[in-house]
Amino acid sequence: MSSSPETHERTHDAALESKTYYDRNSVKAMANISVPLIYKTAVKSTKDSYQATHQTTFLANLERNMKLAIVIVALATAAYAVKIPCTGTTSLREEAAKKNLLFGSGAINPAYLDDAQFKAVLSKQFNSLSPENELK
């Protein structure tokens, strides 16, 4: 069965034009056809092109999926933080007293003890006061 190079060229071009997208099986089948080396090279480059496109698509999807996962984790964390109840009805002093613990603060500067707001928080939340550096 001998045919001219033009016949091979027309047959091969028609085969390439008839199929826009190549799946793996058709590319493998086309690569195994007994045709001159120039045609096998063209088919092989089509196969390489398919693999390169497939890899690029995979990486793009991976990047998109990672971004989506980050957004989902951030939203889940924010939703969980909103659900945490903040009772605020008992003071730290009362919670420590339930377990027979002293819960205290270290006074940094004696001038703070003259501040009314500081005194109120200190007396409500703590049952111990350490002078820290004032004794050195």
Q: What is the pLDDT of residues 46-96, one digit of tens each?
A: 556 666 666 667 677 878 888 889 999 998 888 777 666 666 678 888 888
CB 104 within 8 A of CB 127: yes
Chain mean pLDDT for the chain: 70
Domain of residue 122 covers: 92-135
DSSP per residue, 44-102 = HHHHHHHHHHHHHHHHHHHHHHHHHHHHHHHHHHHHHHHHS-----S-HHHHHHHTT--
- Taking 50 as the threshold, does the pLDDT of residue 39 lie above it? no
Asked if residue 104 and residue 77 are part of one domain, the reply reads no
Mean pLDDT of 102-128: 83
Asked if residue 14 and residue 44 are part of one domain, the reply reads yes
pTM greater than the 0.85 cutoff: no
Asked if residue 99 and residue 62 are part of one domain, the reply reads no
Give the total number of structural domains in the chain. Answer: 2
Quick one: what percent of the chain has pLDDT higher than 90? Answer: 4
Asked if residue 15 and residue 77 are part of one domain, the reply reads yes
The pLDDT assigned to 45 comes to 55
Asked if residue 31 and residue 74 are part of one domain, the reply reads yes
The pLDDT assigned to 41 comes to 47
The pLDDT assigned to 71 comes to 92
- Taking 50 as the threshold, does the pLDDT of residue 37 lie above it? no
Asked if residue 69 and residue 9 are part of one domain, the reply reads yes
Q: Which of 7-16, 58-67, 116-125 has the lowest mean pLDDT?
A: 7-16
Q: For the CA atoms of the chain, what is the radius of gyration?
A: 38
Structure tokens of 43?
A: 């088919």
Asked if residue 67 and residue 118 are part of one domain, the reply reads no
